[in-house]
């Protein structure tokens, strides 16, 4: 039977198990939307209010389920509006498949109305992209897009389909297999390297496990726990590794990075063996590279060989999926404990607790602090909610003080640091996890970048809970201006709208809280309300995030105040 290219798109998505699409229609993708009209019972389409929201929502969906999120956009500005989300997905290894409409082949390259070379634009920020100009190319192109997006190191792909290809008809069949010469997925890890790594771990006196997003991508949380407990190794997490290891576990020592915990950052430069799994040694974790872990033997397990020896030269490099890599180590690693080493961490943890944590999470007077809000939220939700954080001070505070008990509970923009990420990403997360509490924690500056997605939340009746931590500043920039630019606050002061009235305009209830005695009941109201709810919390204007590792500093130069 002959079908149109537009119908082939929908059949191909069904073959890939797609049940949700985030998108926004337009002229060049209209035939596909017409075909989508007949698939309403099989595929849920969520109409965002801006294409950037579609790509971030697809990310949130993918981060929860591990399968590609899908977004649609039309040509020209529709396609280019996806670019921020595509870049975000590329840097954070999130599988999304973007399908864009394009002008007809007959006018391609003539600067036709709403024509943009989106394949050229997105080549540096996708794992793979392709422009379809004939209908019969559609099945294989979509098959490849999904295969590449989800295999190996996940990431974004894009298929651009000209309008004539959407209208033309052909004999449809969907390929079962995909042949991609040159595209190789890592096989089982090298056994000799696994044995060498295990030998180093068994001989170590001061080992430290650094875990990243790769643990969650490969669903290796159980294996990680077994390895840490068997070998008695302390675990520190990157920002994207949060929730891969229970924060309440006695071997968990906190978060790495610029605003991470004091002990794991300082003692990175005291460890004799570092086992890094599914993380990429980015600059926020390493600080000044010339002074990073020079004393340690370093084992690095990552599915992407390009990450091995890229920033940090290592002693054992293992190309492997995190789950397979850890399973390999478990066969050879011996039962052990490192009580003296653990005591060194406890001393530094106590110092951070007294100087930073107690004053910020349990203040007795003064203005509300971001950390006390997150601490109360964590307690009220028993550490079991899905937390979607935007970018800025509130992001670091949330990462530091929410006590994650379940895997796949923290979603944020790490590599790109995209303000405006959280609201649409929370929509995608809620669609993916309808039975879990999904809470977006957003700063007042970030909220205004994608505020229009409140309309999507209202229309779709998504029970996303939103907390705005409002300091009437671009807080993280202001902190840097305070500490490193002599308090020359250059264009960071915000005159904000009445967020509660704005939310009501979108038919979303909410309220504003400014007094400490009202916080607990306000969070109770947020959590107990059926449907979406917005809670605005006015916090201290010049509340800073500590510890802090200044740019260009060593991990040993963390500041507690």
Token output for 529: 């309300």
Residue 178 structure tokens: 């995909």
**Residue 476 among the catalytic residues:** yes
CA distance linking residue 231 with residue 208, whole number of Å: 10
Dist. CA 202–CA 204, nearest whole Å: 6
The CB-based long-range contact list for 106-114 (8 Å cut-off, 24+ gap) reads 106/164, 108/133, 108/162, 113/76, 114/26, 114/27, 114/28, 114/74, 114/75, 114/76, 114/77, 114/78
Active site residue 370: no
Of residues 67, 163, 324, 430, which has the active-site annotation? 163
Count CA atoms within 13 Å of residue 40 on its CB side.
3
Residue 393 annotated in active site: no
Euclidean distance between CA atoms 136 and 359, whole angstroms: 64
Catalytic residue among 51, 59, 115, 352: 51
Is residue 90 part of the annotated active site? The answer reads no
Pairing assessment for the beta strands 297-302 and 316-319 based on DSSP bridges: parallel
Catalytic: 113? yes
Decide: helix, strand or coil at residue 163: helix
Within 10 angstroms of residue 173's Cβ, the number of other Cβ atoms is 11
Nearest alpha carbon to residue 265 among 551, 561, 559: 559
Beta bridge partners of 302: 319
Rg (CA), the chain: 24
**Any residues with CB less than 8 A from the CB of 320 and at least 6 apart, and which?**
186, 188, 189, 301, 302, 303, 328
Element (H, E) at 91: helix 83-91
> Is the peptide bond preceding residue 547 cis, with omega within 30 degrees of 0?
yes
Q: Which of 114, 452, 459, 482 is catalytic?
A: 114
Query: Which entry of 90, 396, 419, 476 is annotated as an active-site residue?
Result: 476
For 455, residues 6+ apart whose C-beta sits below 8 A from its C-beta are: 49, 506
Q: How far apart are the C-alpha atoms of 422 and 391, rounded to whole Å?
A: 8
| Helix, strand, coil abundance in the chain, percent, nearest 5 | 45, 20, 40
Tell me which residues are annotated as active site. 51, 113-114, 163, 476
């Amino acid at each position: 039977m002959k079908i149109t290219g537009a119908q082939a798109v929908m059949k191909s998505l069904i073959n890939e198990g797609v049940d949700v699409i985030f998108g926004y229609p337009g002229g060049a993708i209209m035939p596909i939307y017409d075909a989508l009209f007949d698939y309403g019972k099989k595929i849920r389409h969520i109409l965002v209010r801006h294409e950037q929201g579609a790509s971030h929502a697809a990310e949130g969906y993918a981060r929860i389920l591990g399968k590609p999120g899908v977004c649609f956009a039309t040509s020209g500005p529709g396609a280019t509006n996806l670019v921020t989300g595509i870049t975000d997905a590329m840097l954070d290894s999130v599988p999304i498949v973007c399908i864009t409409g394009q002008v007809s082949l007959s006018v391609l390259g003539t600067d036709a109305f709403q024509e943009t070379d989106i394949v050229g634009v997105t080549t540096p920020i996708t794992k793979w992209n392709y422009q379809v100009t004939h209908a019969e190319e559609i099945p294989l192109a979509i098959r490849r897009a999904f295969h590449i997006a989800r295999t190996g190191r996940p990431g974004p792909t894009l298929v651009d389909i000209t309008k004539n290809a959407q209208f033309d008809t052909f004999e449809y069949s969907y390929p079962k297999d995909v042949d991609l010469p040159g595209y190789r997925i890592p096989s089982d890890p090298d056994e000799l390297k696994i044995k060498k790594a295990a030998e180093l771990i068994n001989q170590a006196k001061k080992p430290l496990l650094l875990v990243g997003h790769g643990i969650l991508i490969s669903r290796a949380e159980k294996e990680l726990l077994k390895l840490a407990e068997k070998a008695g190794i302390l675990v520190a997490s990157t920002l994207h590794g949060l929730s891969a290891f229970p924060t309440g576990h006695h071997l968990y020592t906190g978060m790495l990075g610029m605003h991470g915990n004091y002990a794991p950052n300082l003692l990175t430069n005291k460890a004799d063996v570092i086992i890094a799994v599914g993380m990429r040694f980015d600059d926020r974790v390493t600080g000044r590279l010339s002074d990073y872990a020079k004393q340690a033997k370093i084992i690095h397990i990552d599915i992407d060989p390009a990450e091995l020896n890229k920033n940090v030269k290592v002693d054992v490099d293992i190309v492997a999926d995190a789950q397979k890599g850890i399973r390999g180590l478990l066969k050879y690693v011996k039962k052990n404990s490192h009580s003296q080493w653990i005591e060194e961490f406890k001393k530094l943890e106590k110092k951070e607790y007294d100087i930073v944590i107690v004053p910020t999470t349990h203040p007795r007077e003064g203005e509300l602090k971001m950390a006390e809000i997150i601490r109360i939220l964590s307690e009220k939700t028993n550490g079991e909610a899905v937390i979607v954080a935007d970018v800025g001070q509130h992001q670091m505070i949330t990462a530091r003080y929410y006590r994650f008990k379940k895997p796949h509970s923290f979603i944020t923009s790490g590599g790109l640091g995209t303000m405006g990420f959280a609201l649409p990403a929370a929509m995608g997360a809620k669609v993916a996890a309808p039975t879990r509490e999904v809470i977006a924690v957003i700063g007042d500056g970030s909220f205004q970048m994608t505020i229009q997605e409140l309309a999507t939340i209202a229309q779709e009746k998504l029970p996303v809970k939103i907390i705005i931590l409002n300091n009437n500043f671009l807080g993280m920039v202001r902190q840097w201006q305070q500490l490193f630019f002599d308090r020359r606050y250059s264009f960071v002061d915000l005159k904000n709208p009445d967020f509660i009235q704005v939310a009501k305009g979108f038919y979303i209830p909410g309220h504003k809280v400014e007094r400490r005695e009202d916080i607990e009941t306000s969070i109770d109201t947020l959590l107990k309300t059926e449907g979406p709810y917005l809670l605005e919390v006015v916090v201290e204007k010049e509340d800073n995030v500590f510890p802090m590792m200044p740019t260009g500093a060593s991990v040993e130069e963390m500041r507690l105040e």
